[in-house]
Amino acid sequence: MNILTTWSLLVLTLPTENATARMRFWRALKAKGCAVLRDGIYLLPQTEERELMLRELAGAIADSGGTAHVLRAPSLDAAQDVEFRALFDRSEDYIEFMSALKGARKTISGQSAAELTKLLRRLRKDYETIVGIDYFPGDATTRAEAAWQDFIGLVDTVLSPGEPHFADRPIRSLSVDDYQGRTWATRQRMWVDRVASAWLIRRFIDRDASFIWIASPSACPKHALGFDFDGAAFSHVGELVTFEVLAASFGLDKDPALLRLGEMVHVLDVGGAAVPEAAGFEAVMAGARERATDDNQLLDEMGRVLDALYTHFASAVKSRDAGGRA
């Protein structure tokens, strides 16, 4: 037996003398993916969050001189349920998005890191906008997700060639004392995980570390400790990126500020739940990568950014803990 969908309906009359307010409300309804049953009647599949949003919008409409009421009702029968669900079909939106991806692929070659980062951020926003109002995912959703992940992989290949795969092995507990004055190696033209890992090594693991930047994993000298490439001493393990693996290996994953940095690095390297600082760090990283003449300069410049972020996160933790004890 099919369960009928419950709907939230917004029945409204917009203010006639306030064109600015009318436009603002129309845009809000469109942004939330509301379907139009007829002029003045809008529909959403009911959840507490969406219904609260409609109630708040109804209040704003009333305050501006219009009228609005929020109602709740199930579909009358299975046929009506199918009819209403069809109003939320996002297939055309996904087709348009995948067409944009196809066009973007043709422009990737030759773009700078800053340009690629900006392109990826814009397309991610477009994709997440559609997903956010795709209340009844279907085949088009699956195809678009596959195309999007493929595009992300392509950009990652350009920004960070030789990106490692996740290994399935335990993470050993190591002593910082055994890793002093060592030579560390990673792929040149660093991106987020590598630059953050190099910073972590120099700041918390091996203060006298020396780094070499290799063109490919096969160029790693035998005496060097490799990181962030397949076959390296330290690389992706399970669901953890290299920065997180290094932190766990040397017992640094008890530091809340480093954990916050690890969340940011993880999101920028392999995706995940949004982290507020990620977009800003990514933009700074792209710009620094364009300005730096070599990876030593890039590490120095981004090291100062990571120092500042670490201090900010540590201060936030201290303030939170102090507030909890008050």
Bridge partner list, 210: 183
Spatial neighbors of 172 by CB under 8 A, at least 6 apart, are 249
- The 67-74 sheet, strands edge to edge: 35-38, 41-45, 6-13, 67-74
At 96-114, the pLDDT tens digits run: 999 999 999 988 877 887 8
Buried b (16+ CB within 10 A) or exposed e, 275-288: bebbbebbeebbeb
* Maximum mean pLDDT: which of 15-24, 83-92, 314-323: 83-92
Domains and CATH numbers, the chain: 6-86 (3.30.70.240), 91-159 (no CATH), 176-325 (no CATH)
At 210-245, the pLDDT tens digits run: 999 998 888 999 999 999 998 899 999 999 999 999
Which segment of 47-56, 256-265, 312-321 scores lowest on mean pLDDT? 312-321
DSSP 80-124: HHHHHHHTT--HHHHHHHHHHHHHHHTT-TT--HHHHHHHHHHHH
pTM higher than 0.85:
no
Q: Which amino acid is at 239?
A: E
Bridge partner list, 167: 237
Q: Which pLDDT belongs to residue 178?
A: 95
Q: Over 70: is that where the pLDDT of 162 sits?
A: no
Quote the radius of gyration of the chain (alpha carbons, Å). Answer: 25
At 130-160, the pLDDT tens digits run: 999 999 999 999 999 988 888 887 887 777 7
For the chain, how far is it from start to end, CA to CA, in angstroms?
Answer: 55
